[in-house]
């Protein structure tokens, strides 16, 4: 007689079980050898498709605004050649003028929670981020080689034509303060996948989001 084997039903692994939606913000720091005085903010909308209590696909749209100062031109930062008042002048420094440099960002990744059954649970995440760099203004300050006379120029930087790709590492913690509401706070580190792409090479930051679970 053939032996009938009992089949145990298994819960699908990659079928979303829950959906979370949230909004938040924080600060971001652009990092490059040519830049100093860096600061910025981030505002973001975040969605999570949870496959289990531990694993989720994260989707995020963000707006960054940042200011910085530089002393050396480098086209790797996504900046075109600067105009000059003349051959007798040297660049003293450049800085964001009347506001900040904007960046639009879309990201996707995976996030894994440790101790997910607890009210406070840490997480680790890895993802891919695409950035778009709209136009912005720089203030250029030059100094005359002989007289030390200073000259200022305002320069409109055109948008970067190509999408800039970055890898995103993030870690933090989630605190559930209600059944469907939680607060997520974490740090992130992003760097360009291709060093030849125009744009700031690295970003550090910290952001928090209030999430609602459906």
Residue 9 has pLDDT above 70, yes or no: no
For residue 93, how many other CB atoms are within 10 A of its CB? 15
Residue 20 has pLDDT above 80, yes or no: yes
Chain length of the chain: 214
Would you say 205 and 187 are in contact if contact means Cβ atoms under 8 Å apart? yes
pLDDT reported for residue 183: 97
Where are the extended beta strands (E) located within 10-159? 18-31, 35-50, 55-70, 89-96, 101-113, 120-132, 136-144, 150-157
pLDDT digits (tens, 9 = 90+) for 130-182: 999 999 999 999 999 999 999 999 999 999 888 999 999 999 999 999 989 99
Of the pLDDT bands very low, low, confident and very high (cuts 50, 70, 90), residue 13 is low
- Higher-confidence position of 105 and 33: 105
Tell me the backbone φ, ψ of residue 206, rounded to 5 degrees: -145, 130
Cα separation, 148 vs 174, whole angstroms? 55
pLDDT reported for residue 162: 86
User: 90: helix, coil or strand?
Assistant: strand
pLDDT reported for residue 4: 53
Would you say 64 and 41 are in contact if contact means Cβ atoms under 8 Å apart? yes
Residue 10 has pLDDT above 60, yes or no: no
Q: Which residues, at least 6 apart from 178, have a Cβ–Cβ distance to it below 8 Å?
A: none
- Higher-confidence position of 195 and 171: 171
Instruction: Kindly state the tokens that stand for 28.
Output: 């971001």
Fold for the domain defined by 22-213: Porin (2.40.160)
pLDDT digits (tens, 9 = 90+) for 29-77: 999 888 887 899 999 999 999 999 999 999 999 999 999 999 888 877 8
Instruction: Tell me what the mean pLDDT of segment 77-84 comes to.
Output: 88
Instruction: Enumerate the domain spans of the chain.
Output: 22-213
pLDDT reported for residue 11: 54
pLDDT reported for residue 141: 95
Instruction: Kindly state the tokens that stand for 93.
Output: 């420094």
pLDDT reported for residue 12: 57
pLDDT reported for residue 47: 97
pLDDT digits (tens, 9 = 90+) for 118-144: 999 999 999 999 999 999 999 999 999
């Amino acid at each position: 007689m053939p032996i009938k084997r009992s089949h145990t039903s298994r819960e699908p692994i990659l079928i979303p079980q829950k959906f979370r939606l949230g909004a938040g913000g924080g600060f971001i720091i652009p990092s490059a050898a040519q830049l100093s005085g860096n600061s910025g903010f981030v505002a973001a909308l975040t969605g999570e498709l949870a496959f289990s209590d531990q694993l989720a696909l994260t989707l995020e749209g963000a707006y960054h605004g940042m200011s910085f100062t530089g002393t050396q031109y480098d086209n790797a930062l996504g900046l075109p050649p600067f105009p000059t008042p003349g051959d007798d002048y040297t660049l003293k420094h450049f800085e964001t003028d009347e506001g900040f440099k904007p960046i639009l960002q879309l990201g996707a990744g995976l996030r894994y929670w440790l101790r997910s059954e607890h009210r406070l649970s840490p997480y680790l995440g890895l993802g891919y981020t695409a950035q778009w760099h709209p136009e912005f203004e720089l203030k250029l300050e030059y100094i005359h080689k002989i007289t030390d006379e200073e000259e200022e120029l305002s320069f409109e930087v055109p948008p970067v034509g190509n999408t800039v790709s970055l890898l995103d590492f993030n870690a933090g913690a989630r605190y559930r303060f209600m059944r469907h509401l939680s607060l997520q706070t974490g740090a992130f580190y992003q760097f360009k996948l291709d060093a030849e792409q125009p744009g700031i090479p690295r970003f550090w930051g910290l952001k928090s989001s209030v999430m609602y679970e459906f």
